[in-house]
Amino acid sequence: MTQSFRVLFILLLVTVSEVSTCKADDQLGVTYDGRSLFINGKRELLFSGDIHYPRSTPEMWPNLIKKAQVGGLNVVQTYAFWNLHEPIEGQYNFEGKYDLVKFIKLIQKQGMYCTLRIGPFIEAEWNFGGFPYWLREVESISFRTDNPPFQERMKRFVEKIVSTMKDEKLFASQGGPIILAQIENEYYNVAKAYGNAGKTYIQWAGKMAEDLNTGVPWVMCKENSAPGAVINACNGRNCGDTFVRPDNPTKPFLWTENWTAQYRVFGDPPSQRSAEDIAYSVTRFFSKNGTLVNYYMYHGGTNFGRTSSSFVTTRYYDEAPLDEFGLFKEPKFGHLTNLHSVLQSCSEALLSGVSSIQVVNTDFEVIVYENSETKACTAFLSNSNRKKDGVVNFRGQDYFVPRRSISILTDCKTVAFNTQRVRKQIKLIFSTIFLTFHVDTEIDIDKKWQMYKEHIPRIRDTVIKATTTLELFNMTRDTTDYLWYTTSFNLENDDLPMRSDIRPVLLISSLGHALLAYVNGKFMGFAHGSNIEKSFVFQSPCHLKGGANHIAILGSTVGLPDSGAYLEHRIAGVHTIAIQGLNTGTLDLSQNLWGHQVGLIGEKLHIFNEQGIKNVEWIEAKNDMQVTWYQVRFDAPSGDDPVALDMSSMGKGMAWINGESIGRYWVSYLNPLGEPSQSVYHVPRSLLKDKDNLMVLFEEQGGRPDDILIMTVKRDNICTFASVVLPGQNMSKQWENNQLRLVAHDAREETDVSCPEEKVINSIVFASFGNPTGLCGNFTKGSCHAQQTRSVVEKACLGKNKCTIPVTSGAYGGDVNCPGTTGTLAVHAKCSHKDDKK
Ligand SMILES: *[C@@H]1O[C@H](CO)[C@@H](O)[C@H](O)[C@H]1NC(C)=O
Ligand SMILES: *[C@@H]1O[C@H](CO)[C@@H](O)[C@H](O)[C@H]1NC(C)=O
Ligand SMILES: *[C@@H]1O[C@H](CO)[C@@H](O)[C@H](O)[C@H]1NC(C)=O
Ligand SMILES: *[C@@H]1O[C@H](CO)[C@@H](O)[C@H](O)[C@H]1NC(C)=O
Ligand SMILES: CC(=O)N[C@H]1CO[C@H](CO)[C@@H](O)[C@@H]1O
């Protein structure tokens, strides 16, 4: 009598007419039917967002959770990160920054629900997909398939998490906040590779989870079907339209990952997903029986230390509604907040009503949810055409629906929200881009940098020897990114080319991810693979001599892989090595005697923290040194704005603040736009003392530490750029012939300018009504410009946290030289704390 039977039993009692009635209040726990989840007996619309506790600090958790609630979320979703909690088999760690219970209790304290994705395979762009490294070394193990050594450990971890949650009474069935739990993760992506064993495994996983009797449903995401009562859910960008539905009409339609942008790897250009596009997909999903949406990510945060998977940037999902620093990312945050509140206000019609779909033509669709008894009614008017605006007639009234947008009529009459209009209740404004960018206070470090040059090993310094180059993951065992390879070989003078301008070439093929090479103590260069193609070839002319020659190669990884089948078999590191162009031809060194050194001396001596730093001699720093440690002392910037480092002047390496690694940095890897994927790195305030903080870097390629800047992050420059669509403009002829009544007469042509919390608009940097151009921070007046714009905007906005300003020529007097121009308003305002000086 497991959960599947209980659920079925409840379903028999629920008929469509009973849908709106709540069940007994004393019924704790979560059940479901084909329409929605029942949380403690009640249907609810659920707005959820991923916030991962190890991607911020415990000091940041309360504020992030609070802001998620401000954004209209009622659920916070997180993974449980196996490799953090069981770093050594059988030894668990749930302390400090790994205090999962504390994180979930904070969610509860905020009056929100939680979805716990136990996995324990999580992918998540997390080192090894969350698997602890020791799992790879278990005898005869095969991950994520019908393999007893794996299943035994997976089960033990899932049980550990479930029992920890039960002990703290955190499941909804115990009065706690956890309403859903997830087992496995996107298995669909790899199922084929495992054939029948994969099918058996997934059945086993579902049953194993259900047998734990949590009293809340289990979910498997990105699955076409799920065993038993486990709910198969959708991950993707457009679950309203593209997803395979739940495998069974008794399961609700859940969207566990709606990507708010895309995570990035080093080498990627910026990734964006507009507020309008997300709002469209989410609205579409709720219009089609969806009841739970989860934003992946709501707060992306930081991949501290070596926690990111192969090539993933240290900043994670920087386009999420809460940025890495926990600040609002506008316009996404505001637009989605409005959407959530409008959809919540429709919950009666959506959850108790009967839906009907009217397909008007290929572009337009009307979906209505109506409860004939209570008269609650909500309509969605959608226009899926990406190019044409249009008008939909609904119950005798014409409604203007901009291209690729959905209007929500909360009472089946009034448009309360349109997904394209990035502000509630704006009519006829086709494009309100509410941009923010940050201008930072930069603080020069006035103290002196010091350095310590890492020793370049020779074969005699090493203990691990082999007549081949050993595999990198096997050797480093996830204790470090680095593995030195070193060998020596003898040449006769007449092996060398006669002419001094012809030099032999050192050729190294690597399986990933990066390497740099020294020949006879001289730096030969750096090379790396990419996330798509991890293997690469390094080639460089080199100076060799008669007698003994020495090669040292620093191989490195940028994180263990996190996706795909057979993760346990992935390999990296130096593969083959040869010297070409000797008089005797090519010298293959692959089978030479190789010495290996795992990790760096500086890592072994912990020279990145206060105790360890004394273990080596530091000298005055020089620029452009390879394989070098740097350190400096600095005072924390005053105030409480978030702190970051601008590392633009450096190459690739790792940074520590007061002994804590803030992650890998890699600014030398340029994206197709010729820019680093990430040059600014977050330093959580909680790592800082007022004075004398220790910053240590390990730099691989060479850089200028002197030019590193400490910044405070403010989002104090805000812009709005709004244009008015005049009636009839950009409407297709076809619609004009139908004599459309446009809603121009009740249009409120206005837009918002608003500062971050607790700040006010302190100056107007730019304001022009006419035909201004340019981007936020660099607006330029056009040929038309209404002289009064600045004074009108200043009057409306100065000293306020938020102001609403008109987008009509009437308000600004227009430009006498440009009568009747379509008005575009561009405003750039600067915010500050009330008492700050201008
Ligand atoms: C919602 O689900 C019900 C039951 O499966 C179905 O009849 C109805 O058409 C669906 N509504 C929409 C808008 O997809
Ligand atoms: C890694 O080490 C294991 C033994 O610990 C060995 O069986 C395996 O072949 C090694 N893999 C590679 C690629 O060297
Ligand atoms: C509206 O139509 C005009 C003229 O056809 C065109 O120049 C303009 O780009 C259109 N605006 C939009 C927002 O499509
Ligand atoms: C500002 O805009 C002008 C003209 O569009 C352009 O030449 C200039 O590079 C821009 N400046 C910045 C800082 O973006
Ligand atoms: C980032 C990503 O993979 N996006 C995909 C999400 O799903 C839609 C459709 O399901 C694809 O078109 C996107 O490429």
- Give the pLDDT of residue 24: 45
pLDDT at 735: 28
Atom 2 of ligand 1: nearest residue by CA position: 289
Tell me, what CATH number does 696's domain have? 2.60.120.260
Whether 388 lines ligand 3, by a CB cut-off of 6 Å, is: no
- Ligand number nearest CA of 571 is 2
Q: Which of 599, 614, 646 is the last residue of a domain?
A: 599
3-class DSSP assignment, residue 13: helix
Nearest to 750 by CA among 773, 729, 723, 776: 723
- Is 617 one of the annotated active-site residues of the chain? no
Give me the pLDDT at residue 443, please: 59
Residue 481 scores a pLDDT above 70: yes
- pLDDT for res 655: 98
Q: Is the pLDDT of residue 509 over 70?
A: yes
| Ligand 1: residue whose CA is nearest its atom 7 | 355
* pLDDT band of 779, cuts 50, 70, 90: confident
**pLDDT of res. 14:** 32
Q: What is the per-residue pLDDT across 193-244, written as a single tens digit (0 to 9) for each?
A: 999 999 999 999 999 999 999 999 999 887 778 888 999 887 776 676 655 5
Asked, for residue 573, whether it belongs to a domain, the answer is yes
How many C-beta atoms surround the C-beta of residue 542 within 10 A?
A: 20
| Residue closest by Cα to atom 14 of ligand 3 | 730
**779 in a domain, yes or no?**
yes
694: DSSP letter: E
341 and 360 belong to one structural domain: no
Ligand 5 atom with the smallest distance to the CA of 239 is 10
Give the span between the Cα atoms of 164 and 94, in whole angstroms.
10
Pocket of ligand 5 (CB under 6 A): 236-238, 242, 259, 262
> Is residue 547 classed exposed, middle or buried when 0-12, 13-18 and 19+ CB atoms within 10 A define those classes?
exposed
Rounded distance from Cα 61 to ligand 1 centre (Å): 38
Pocket flag, ligand 1, residue 335 (CB < 6 Å): no
Q: Is 138 in the pocket of ligand 2 (CB under 6 A)?
A: no
Q: What SS3 class is residue 196?
A: helix
Higher pLDDT, 87 or 821: 87
The answer to whether residues 481 and 334 belong to one domain is: no
Bridge-partner residues for 269, per DSSP? none
CA distances (Å), origin 285, targets 242, 259, 411, 418, 798 = 10, 14, 19, 15, 40
The residue annotated as part of the active site, out of 44, 86, 257, 660, is 257
Residue 742 Cα to ligand 1 middle (Å): 31
Which amino acid belongs to residue 795? K
Q: Which two tokens stand for residue 493?
A: 């003078």
Question: Could you tell me if the CB of 778 is within 6 A of ligand 3?
Answer: no
Compute the residue count for the chain.
838
As a whole number of angstroms, the distance between CA 686 and CA 443 comes to 19
Decide whether any atom of ligand 2 lies within 6 Å of the 646 Cβ.
no
Compute, in angstroms, the gap from residue 731 CA to the centroid of ligand 3.
9
Report whether residue 2 contacts ligand 3, using a CB cutoff of 6 Å.
no
Q: Can you give the pLDDT at residue 259?
A: 75
- The whole domain housing 203 covers 40-352
Q: In angstroms, rounded to a whole number, what is the distance separating the alpha carbons of residues 136 and 141? A: 7
Which residue type does 252 have?
A: P
Which residues contact residue 20 at a Cβ distance below 8 angstroms, ignoring those fewer than 6 apart? Answer: 43, 348, 351, 352, 371, 374
Residue 430 in contact with ligand 3 by CB distance below 6 A: yes
Choose the catalytic residue: 125, 186, 276, 324: 186
CATH number at residue 75: 3.20.20.80
Ligand nearest to the CA of 473: 2
In a domain? residue 726: no
Smallest-distance ligand from the CA of 781: 4
Task: Cis check for the bond before 120: say yes or no (omega within 30 of 0).
Answer: yes
Of the ligands numbered here, which is closest to the C-alpha atom of 34?
Answer: 1
CB of residue 471 inside a 6 A radius of ligand 2: yes
β 290-299/46-51 pair status: parallel
pLDDT digits (tens, 9 = 90+) for 430-445: 222 333 334 445 555 6
What's the pLDDT score for residue 734?
22
| Contacts for 13 with CB less than 8 Å, ≥ 6 apart | none
Phi-psi region of 571 (alpha: psi -120 to 50; beta: other; left: phi over 0): beta
Instruction: Note whether 505 and 569 are same-domain residues.
Output: yes
Spacing, Cα 746 to ligand 2 middle (Å)? 72
Residue 257 annotated among the catalytic residues of the structure = yes
Q: Is the CB of 94 under 6 A from ligand 3?
A: no
- Does 33 reside within a domain? no
> Which residue puts its alpha carbon closest to atom 1 of ligand 5?
262
Q: Look at residue 579 and tell me if it is in a domain.
A: yes
The mean pLDDT of 722-732, rounded to a whole number, is 47
Centroid of ligand 5 to alpha carbon of 305 (angstroms): 29
646, 658: one domain: yes
- By most ligand atoms within 8 Å of CB, the mutation choice from 387, 723, 729 for ligand 3 is 729
Ligand 5 pocket mutation, candidates 237, 239, 259, 268, criterion most atoms within 8 A of CB: 237
Centroid of ligand 2 to alpha carbon of 196 (angstroms): 27
Q: Ligand 4 centre from 386 Cα, in Å? A: 30
Taking 3-state DSSP, the helix, strand and coil percentages for the chain, each rounded to the nearest 5, stand at 20, 35, 45
Number of domains in the chain: 5
Determine which residue's CA is closest to atom 6 belonging to ligand 3.
730
In whole angstroms, give the CA distance from residue 74 to residue 113.
Answer: 6
Q: Look up residue 259 and give its two tokens.
A: 């990507």
Report the nearest-CA residue for atom 5 of ligand 4: 774
Q: How far is the CA of 149 from the centre of ligand 2 (A)?
A: 18
State whether 403 and 486 are in the same domain. Answer: no
Higher-confidence position of 27 and 795: 795
> How does pLDDT run across 675-693, given as a tens digit for each residue?
999 999 999 999 999 999 9
* 582 lies in the same domain as 479: yes
At 814, which CATH number? 2.60.120.740
Among all bound ligands, the one having the nearest atom to the CA of 263 is 5
Ligand nearest to the CA of 35: 1
Shared domain for 481 and 592, answered yes or no, is yes
Q: How far apart are CA 233 and CA 245, in angstroms?
A: 8
Please report the pLDDT score of residue 442 as a whole number: 57
**Which of 240-249, 523-532, 610-619, 746-755 has the weakest average pLDDT?**
746-755
The residues lining ligand 4, judged by C-beta closer than 6 Å to any ligand atom, are 774, 778
Structural domain contains residue 385: yes
- Strands of 270-421, DSSP E: 290-299, 354-359, 364-370, 377-383, 390-394, 397-401, 405-409, 415-418
Lowest mean pLDDT among 326-330, 355-359, 450-454: 326-330
- How far apart are the C-alpha atoms of 207 and 135, rounded to whole Å? 22
- Residue 633 has a CB neighbour count (10 Å cut-off) of 14
What is the percent of the chain where pLDDT is above 90?
68
Residues 325 and 374 in one domain: no
Q: What's the pLDDT band for 380 if we cut at 50, 70, 90?
A: very high
Do 644 and 517 have their domain in common?
A: no
Last residue of a domain, one of 566, 599, 632: 599
Asked whether residue 708 is assigned to any structural domain, the reply reads yes
> 732 in ligand 3 pocket by Cβ < 6 Å?
no
3-state secondary structure 502-546: CCCEEEEEECCCEEEEEECCEEEEEEECCCCCCCEEEEEECCCCC
Boundary of a domain, candidates 547, 575, 599 = 599
For residue 111, the CA-to-ligand 3 centroid distance in Å is 47
Handedness of CA 183, 189, 191, 194 (dihedral sign): negative
- Return mean pLDDT, the chain: 87
- The DSSP H or E segment spanning 473 is helix 472-476
Q: Say how many Å lie between the CA of residue 137 and the centre of ligand 2.
A: 9
Confidence at 838, pLDDT banded by 50, 70, 90: very low
- Whole-number Å distance, alpha carbon 778 to ligand 4 midpoint, is 6
- Does 728 reside within a domain? no
Atom 3 of ligand 3, residue of closest alpha carbon:
730
pLDDT of res. 724: 60
What whole-number distance in Å separates Cα of residue 682 and Cα of residue 668? 18
Three-state helix/strand/coil letters over 624-693: CCCCEEEEEEECCCCCCCCEEEECCCCCEEEEEECCEEEEEEECCCECCCCCECCCEEEECHHHCCCCCE
Claim to verify: residue 70 and residue 133 sit in the same structural domain: yes
Are 666 and 591 found together in one domain?
Answer: no
Greater confidence, 488 or 815?
488
Of 474, 567, 570, 594, which is best to mutate to test ligand 2, by the most ligand atoms within 8 angstroms of its C-beta?
Answer: 474
Same-domain pairing of 630 and 538: no
355 Cβ below 6 A of ligand 1: yes
Q: How far is the CA of 723 from the centre of ligand 3 (A)?
A: 12
Q: Identify the nearest ligand to the CA of 779 by its number.
A: 4
| Range with the poorest average pLDDT among 111-115, 180-184, 714-718 | 714-718
**For 392-402, what is each residue's pLDDT tens digit?**
999 998 888 88
Contact in structure between 105 and 99 (CB atoms under 8 Å)? no
CB-based burial, 214-244: b 16+ in 10 Å, e otherwise: bbbbbbbbbbeebbbbbbbbbbbbbbbeebe
pLDDT at 808: 75
Q: Is 289 near ligand 1, meaning CB less than 6 Å away?
A: yes
Take residue 527 and report the two structure tokens written for it: 């090379």
Q: Is the CB of 414 under 6 A from ligand 2?
A: no
Task: List phi, psi (to 5°) of 219.
Answer: -125, 145
CB of 134 closer than 6 angstroms to any ligand 3 atom: no
CA of 569 to the centre of ligand 2 (A): 9
